[in-house]
Amino acid sequence: MKQNDLNNLTGKIFPLTLKSTTVINRPDPPVVTPLGNGVMLDINGTYYIISAGHLMNIKDFPDLMIQAKNNKMTLCNGKLVTTYKTYGDSQKIDIAIFRFSQRQNKHIDGYYRFIKPNDIGIEHKTVETSSYIISGYPLNNIKKITGQPVYIAEPLQVLTATARKRTYKKFGFDPKTHILVKLLGRIKPFSSKFKKRLKKPTGISGSGLWYVPNWKKVDKNGVPEHILVGILTDNFIDQGFVVAVRIDFATDIISHNFGVSGKPSHLTNFAEEIKQVYEVEIP
């Protein structure tokens, strides 16, 4: 596919994936402190956030909030299931699922683009082509507005490919549990012929890793199919890659801990890889 055609197609995907992404915050009156990202999910009218466990951990949970309608923030009231009890824990599988209480819907309904279960791809078989999209809001691209609990966020939008198999082995990652994708120190923006230095993004954890199965398969609006296959958890940009935990663990938690029926993953071993999850609920 020609580069211009690829640029045009990715340009149609980015606004949608960003609209499905929220920034998770902690109050720091009179402002808020952004911590990372999460992907918004709708299952039969019930809203969820899929994020990294270290961001949405049990200890910090009571204070967590996201952007809502009318330039306001809303607390994350509902049920959290996470693999992290505190931010400083060390767990192989870094994942969290949060379910909003129904009374919170009025604050976020219509503000985000919620993905649906058929937008999620479990048992993903990685490919080495440029078929992956990183979409989120790094903390060093967020500008706070003085004295207000709002800010302006500049997104990170990258089309990339998977890292080589030897990278998994070198850094101790299992391809059955994680997906490693390239993120180098220099990138070429889609609107430019020249590469520019990429400031090391901090706080991209919780962002979605999206996969485009077929660039030629588009909907009536010309948007290629794109599915969520992972959640970013670790930043190794100095070594040329970032790490995403496979989305299979999120769907397994939704099934096991939220009672939502769905197709089980035969790639990941939930019981073996996740020794314990933590739950808390704020009605």
pLDDT the model gives residue 146 = 62
What are the structure tokens assigned to 259, written together? 């009672």
The pLDDT of residue 148: 67
218 touches 6 (CB < 8 A):
no
- Map tokens 């704020």 to a residue: 282
Count, in order, helices (H) and strands (E) of the chain. Answer: 5, 18
Report the pLDDT value the prediction gives residue 92, as an integer from 0 to 100: 94
Say how far apart CA 123 and CA 255 lie, in whole Å: 16
Phi-psi region of 172 (alpha: psi -120 to 50; beta: other; left: phi over 0): left
| Contact call for residues 196 and 179 (beta carbons, < 8 A) | no
Q: What are phi and psi of 118, to 5 degrees?
A: -75, 0
Integer Cα distance of 224 and 216 in angstroms: 7
Q: Determine the pLDDT at residue 96.
A: 98
Q: What is the pLDDT of residues 173-191, one digit of tens each?
A: 999 999 999 987 544 444 4
Q: What percent of the chain has pLDDT over 70?
A: 90
What's the alpha-carbon Rg for the chain, to the nearest Å?
A: 18
Q: Cβ neighbours of residue 176 under 8 Å, at least 6 residues apart?
A: 246, 267, 268, 269
* pLDDT tens digits for range 45-65: 999 999 999 999 999 999 999
Residue 186 burial by Cβ neighbours in a 10 Å radius (0-12, 13-18, 19+): exposed
The β-bridge partners of 67 are 73
- Residue 227, token pair as written in the block: 């599915």
Predicted local distance difference test score (pLDDT) of residue 188: 44
What's the pLDDT score for residue 1?
72
- At 230 the pLDDT is 98
H or E stretch at 112: none
The low-confidence residues of the chain, meaning pLDDT below 70, are 141, 143-151, 185-201
pLDDT of residue 271: 85
User: 44 CB contacts (<8 Å, ≥6 apart)?
Assistant: none
Instruction: Compute the distance between CA of residue 210 and CA of residue 228 in angstroms, rounded to an integer.
Output: 4
Quickly list DSSP for 8-45.
HHHHHHHHHHHHTEEEEEEEETTEEEEEEEEEEEEETT
pTM across the whole model: 0.92
Nearest alpha-carbon partner for 157 in 5, 19, 3: 19
